[in-house]
Amino acid sequence: MNTSEPSLFDILGPIMIGPSSSHTAGASRIGFIARRLLGESPRHAVITLYNSFARTHKGHGTDCAIIGGILGFAPDDERIKDAFDIARSKGLNWQFKFQGDAERFHSNAARLQLFGEKNKIEIVGASLGGGRIKIEEIEGFMVEFTAQLDTLVVIAEDIPGSIQHISAIIAESKVNIAQMFVSRNKNQKPPMASMVIELDNPLPTASVEAIGRLGWVKFARLIESIQEGSSMYEK
């Protein structure tokens, strides 16, 4: 199946809490991916909503949905309706910002900055409709993935042979690479690169950790496919 093409299920929309698959299910998934990339429970969140997200967030529950995703809730989790109260009880504090006319961004876009005890992450994601999303930016790097496939995100020094080393670890795990998206920033010192690697099968945790231990790798996180009923959501 070509995951870049929407299925009938995508068009009809997922099982979810809220009135709009774009403004609630998609928003929830963007929040959830930010949490997974952070790699720990967040303590503080700064969330900027753009365009339609900014203008209609209250009526469509976008704000609750994003907080619910940050807490690790699936789009159909009943707790999303109480996400603000649950977040407070877990010690999460947050700040919303709004830009209702930002031509650079998708009509339903959000920037999330999450801070934990040890880590921080900044992403930009867009909700495409039917619960589908696209992550467009991670830590200032332009990226593109939908999380319909298991996806490995790596940020590392831009050194010769880096892709070969990472690909070899994946191959040793007998996992096939579906596609790879590489973005570079030569202006950083040292020059840095991001790699978004979509996979045909789940990558073992040991392999992700082995990539993270490479001396020139700053960041390695696995985003499991965000399909309905996934076991990765918080219970």
pLDDT, tens only, 198-214: 999 999 999 999 999 99
What is the CATH superfamily name and number for domain 150-223?
ACT domain (3.30.70.260)
> Are the C-beta atoms of 176 and 201 separated by less than 8 Å?
yes
The pair of three-digit structure tokens given for residue 134, joined into one six-digit string: 């696209």
Sign of CA dihedral 148, 153, 159, 165: negative
Q: How high is the pLDDT of residue 228?
A: 57
> Between 145 and 20, where is the model more confident?
145
For 216-230, the pLDDT digits (tens) are 999 999 999 987 555
Quote the pLDDT of residue 134.
95
> Residue 60 — pLDDT band, cuts 50, 70, 90?
low
pLDDT higher for 218 or 61? 218
Q: What is the DSSP letter of 131?
A: T
- Whole-number Å distance between alpha carbons of 115 and 44: 5
- Boundaries of every domain in the chain: 8-138, 150-223
Domain 8-138 belongs to what architecture? 2-Layer Sandwich (3.30)
pLDDT digits (tens, 9 = 90+) for 2-35: 444 555 444 445 444 444 545 588 999 999 999 9
| Residue 53 clears pLDDT 90, i.e. is over it | no
CA distances to 65, 137, 152, 196 from 68, rounded to whole Å, are: 5, 21, 23, 25
| Angle between helices 62-71 and 51-60 in degrees, nearest 10 | 90
